[in-house]
A and B are shown apart, each in its own frame.
Chain A
Amino acid sequence: MTAKLETAMEQIEIATGVLVVGGGMTGVATALEVAQQGYPVTLIEAGDQVGPAAESRPRTGLPDVQRLNDMAARLAKTDSVEVLTAARLDAAAGVAGDFKVWLSTAEDVLERRVGAIVVAAEFDTTPLFDAYGLAPGESVIGQSEVERRLAEDPRAFADKTVAFVAGFAQNGNPLVMQRIFHSVKALQAGGAAGVYVYVGDLKVADDGLERQYRLGRDGGAIYFKLRQAPAIAVSEAGAVIGFHDPVVRQQIEVAADCLVVEEALGVGPECADLAAILRIDIGPQGFLQSDNIYRFPVATNREGIFVAGASREVRSLPWALADARNAALRVAEVLGDGTRLVPRDKAVVDIGKCTFCLTCYRCCPHGAIYWQAENKPVISPVACQGCGICASECPMDAIQIGGFSDEQIRSQIGAKLADVNGDPAIVAFCCQNSALVAGEMAAAFRMNLPAGLRTIQVPCAGKIDLQYILDAFVSGADGVLVMACHPGNCKSERGNTYAGWRVEDAQRLIAGAGLEPERLRFATLAANMGTDFQAIVIDMEQKIRDLGKSRLR
């Protein structure tokens, strides 16, 4: 066992420095956590301050601002953390364990070698005046402005009537609501004459928000939940907000001295550039994480690059700090003690066959392939996830995956079909992350499965070559199933898409050879659905019984 391990594994050196991008609280917490684990950190911040001061809005309602400032101060005193303000990430190269990054500051361009990178951006606030057809002014202000005024003078709105509108210009999120609840509380404490909140959906799905909402109401705030934005008329004296109440059948109007307009909370403007520089996938709304459960909680498509806080979602500070700790955990896992045992054969390029076409570099969803000085593609055993997409896409068949070489997979096909007798012979190529598990579940639960079903494990559906499918038919399969994860659930993002394309190609080819294309089917399913697996394979068996035996068998 040990001997075998020694030949198959190699020890490589890992750079233990870590780059943290962003000097808001998420970045500060990440840097502190990482440094605590004994890794040197470089933290860059575009502005000239780190900590709460680096953030675009006041941290309302948190009793812990002093502690946040303390954290920033502690960071400044930590020797193993290099803090660069007015600094940007200009470029990055390399892979997990061995990134090179170029940082520009006001004076200099610095080069650092790091093993891991954490993006800890803060979110941006955008007042939504336009969406309400309003212009900011004396009596119309944004959420940040009301917070600023209240922070300056708790009685800034004493004896005034203040109204909020939220949830009509955007779906919003709990943090949008939380800011309003805090302002409502502050207004009540500061002697406001009346507080009205017009809201679409009350987004209260975060700790304590429903209670805060009720407390505000108990304190006299009036909430109107509407399907559409109310009518707003702004004059010198203030704003009149009105809507028709269908239940009491009358127009309800409120004259407010000040109308507070909601703000969108989204990714900062730097995120798009960071994604391009770091070659990480952008998700919905521009966040630096695709909406894929394999990325829970702080992973990206690239090993060694993590996202925390508002880089990946807009949530309250406690969640951003939880992200910081998760990111630190992940970083430690990649860096270890600065060395790592990795399999030699995870994915290997045969340079003799390679024509340097760049296909593999472009299609690797995990950014695990880089070019060496001699212009050779090299696959990083740390960053590679072994999906095999590159191997199947390489026009020269120059890449082989450990445990899943073409020979290993193809030799199984005939062997597995050998003992199928009278029943319809079905070969199911199953992604090991989904269909394989679902199939094992169906078998373990003793669900009724076709007697002639033979499954073949692949690391990702993206590893299912056209050739394997054709082999299966040539070897006597009456039907072939290509079973992948549901779109959006592929660990390698696009493995299922590649598999779907190859099935379409193969259907054309087998039709050309006189086989019914229905004998080949592409299906997607999840690991926890043994019943779906059963339904798909039983349906296939029935289809084959209807069609009869393959004419190649």
Chain B
Amino acid sequence: MNSQTKKVMVIGGGIAGLTAAWELARAGVEVALVEKAAFLGGHGIQYACKATDECQQCGACGVEKMLANVIDEPRIRVYLAAEAAEVTGDGPFTVTLRASGSQPGAVDAACGQGYDKDPGACAAARGYSVHNAVFYKADGGFDPDRVAAPETVTADAVVVATGFTPFNPDEKPTYRYRELANVVTGLDLERTKRIYGEVRRPSDGAVPRKMAFIQCVGSRDERLGHLWCSQACCPYALRSALAARHKHPDLDITVFYMDIQNTTNSFDAFYEKCRQSLRFVRTIPVDMYETEDGGIRTRFMAEEDGLPVEEIFDLVVLSVGIMPGADNPVLAGTLGIELGTEGFFARPDLLNTSATARGGLFVAGTAGGPMTISGAMASAGQSAAAVLHYLGRA
């Protein structure tokens, strides 16, 4: 394959973009990896390990691993805090990058006094991962040897891997997400565990004794017009719940759900474990009230008789789903490609779900629709293969 001299731009540096970039680089292609945030790894790099006494295959450490691969790969040129402003041409494409406005963390200021002074700020300043640390100078700013400044790049093909936006619970106001300290999202929970190593409730930093997960927040919601299952939130909620129970065996956990989606091929055994240690209630509570000591009081219909029940939880986790990326409409315009009904990038060919309608432009990961980390990796590998195919023909 004469792809040696070819150059491909990958937009978005989550697990899908990292995987696509790495696969392409290994096949001999020069890659420009453009990430809007000030760190690589997207959402996945902020997640915690969900192992109990064994790995639960959540894939989070795989993001860490792929990031390590990418920073070691000389064929990948990394642009951080950058985005595509303009795209012209029709393969090759000329892409003008501009600064996105994201700021690199001030590592010394945030971590200089030691991690424990402000773990959240330090983790964020470090881009959540030891591997992102290579991009920053100790005294602030990007290391120019590792991070390229926005410029105009010519690319033979472009992979769109700009990911998703977690559902914003403000759109479901009865959960009172912003008002009540101890109503958090799944993403908040992941970050807390990554930063502190355990589940804590925001109001007082204590480990909760009784917590609830509410599934399908923002997904499978007719009223919002979100007619899709986010695919990742059952897996992450159940794994997080099991991991939390493992760490704190007295923790009482309820999962409010509509339908439980599978994890991996081990799902049968996994779900059996869940059923033994978690309480499943097949209904979705709506209204949240705060008790004097910061507890969350909620009401729901009992499954047995349909009568209303009231219960108080120390912590309520909203299992927010995968929504189309916030930039999708603008980016679709810039790239001259379409969005599908749900607002993700359209993938019109069922037999090659990485292709867009426009030659030379490909999609990888949740930019194209909800999927898990393992799905995003398979999707990105497919995109890389499709790009190589395209370059071979070009």
Contacts and interface: CB of A to CB of B under 8 A. Distances in A.
A36 interface: yes
B262 interface: yes
B61 A489 contact: yes
A84 B227 CA distance: 44
Contacts of B378: 296-298, 319, 322-323, 326
Contacts of B260: 201
A313 interface: yes
Interface string A487-522: 111000000000000000000000000000000000
A203 B304 CA distance: 23
B27 interface: yes
Given A486-B55, A487-B53, A293 B62 contact: yes
B124 to A, nearest CB: 11
A208 B114 CA distance: 48
A328 B352 CA distance: 14
A345 interface: no
Contacts of B261: 174, 201, 203-205
B51 interface: yes
Interface stretch (B160-168, B174-182, B189-197): B189-197
Given A64-B351, A214-B227, A317-B350, A287 B265 contact: yes
Contacts of A317: 350-351
Given A203-B262, A325-B385, A437-B68, A531 B271 contact: no
Contact of B382 (A71, A208, A322, A487): A322
Contacts of A411: none
A322 B282 CA distance: 34
Contacts of B341: 211
B75 to A, nearest CB: 14
B311 interface: no
Nearest to B377: A296
B145 interface: no
Contacts of A71: 351
Which of the listed residues A206, A444, A445 has the most CB atoms from chain B within 10 Å of its own CB? A445
Contacts of B369: 207
Contacts of B62: 293, 296
B353 interface: yes
A441 B116 CA distance: 14
A292 interface: yes
A415 interface: no
B293 interface: no
Given A318-B351, A486-B51, A446 B61 contact: no
B48 interface: yes
A329 B385 contact: yes
A483 to B, nearest CB: 14
A120 interface: no
Interface stretch (B83-91, B126-134, B204-212, B330-338): B126-134
A283 B305 contact: no
B51 A214 contact: no
A131 interface: no
Contacts of B103: none
**SS class, residues of chain B in contact with chain A:** loop
A355 to B, nearest CB: 36
B96 interface: no
Given A296-B377, A446-B114, A487 B55 contact: yes
A326 B352 CA distance: 12
A383 B392 CA distance: 29
Contacts of A112: none
Contacts of B122: 445-446
Interface residues of B, number: 83
Given A246-B305, A446-B114, A528-B60, A325 B381 contact: yes
A437 B69 CA distance: 13
Interface in B360-394: 369, 374-375, 377-379, 381-382, 384-386, 388-389, 392
A440 B27 CA distance: 30
B64 A437 contact: yes
A188 B122 CA distance: 58
Nearest to A289: B265
B264 interface: yes
Contact of A291 (B195, B234, B266): B266
Nearest to A325: B385
Contacts of B222: 214
Contacts of A534: 197
Given A445-B126, A525-B49, A210 B59 contact: no
Which of the listed residues B56, B264, B268, B301 has the most CB atoms from chain A within 10 Å of its own CB? B264
Given A246-B305, A445-B123, A529-B49, A313 B265 contact: yes
Contacts of B146: none
B23 A329 contact: yes
Contact of A284 (B45, B63, B269): B269
Contacts of A442: 115
A333 interface: yes
Interface in A132-191: 171, 173-174
A248 B306 CA distance: 8
B366 to A, nearest CB: 12
A227 interface: yes
A296 B306 contact: no
A203 B259 contact: yes
Contacts of B129: 441, 528
B273 interface: no
A444 B64 CA distance: 15
27 contacts: A171-B271, A205-B229, A205-B262, A208-B228, A210-B229, A227-B282, A247-B301, A247-B306, A285-B268, A296-B378, A297-B374, A297-B381, A312-B265, A318-B351, A323-B378, A325-B385, A326-B385, A333-B26, A434-B61, A437-B68, A444-B133, A448-B114, A488-B57, A524-B51, A527-B61, A528-B48, A535-B197
Interface of B: 1, 23, 26-27, 45, 47-49, 51, 53-57, 59-65, 68, 111-112, 114-116, 122-123, 126, 129-130, 133, 194-197, 219-220, 222, 227-229, 231, 234, 258-262, 264-269, 271, 282, 301, 303-306, 341, 350-354, 369, 374-375, 377-379, 381-382, 384-386, 388-389, 392
Closest 4 CB pairs of A and B: A531-B197, A247-B306, A489-B55, A325-B385
Interface of A: 33, 36-38, 62-64, 67-68, 71, 171, 173-174, 201-211, 214, 225, 227, 246-248, 283-285, 287, 289, 291-293, 296-298, 312-313, 317-319, 321-323, 325-326, 328-329, 332-333, 433-434, 437, 440-442, 444-448, 485-489, 524-532, 534-535
Given A208-B228, A247-B305, A529-B49, 20 more contacts: A36-B392, A171-B268, A205-B262, A211-B227, A247-B301, A284-B269, A289-B265, A293-B59, A296-B378, A298-B378, A317-B351, A318-B350, A332-B1, A440-B130, A445-B130, A448-B116, A526-B55, A527-B65, A528-B61, A528-B63
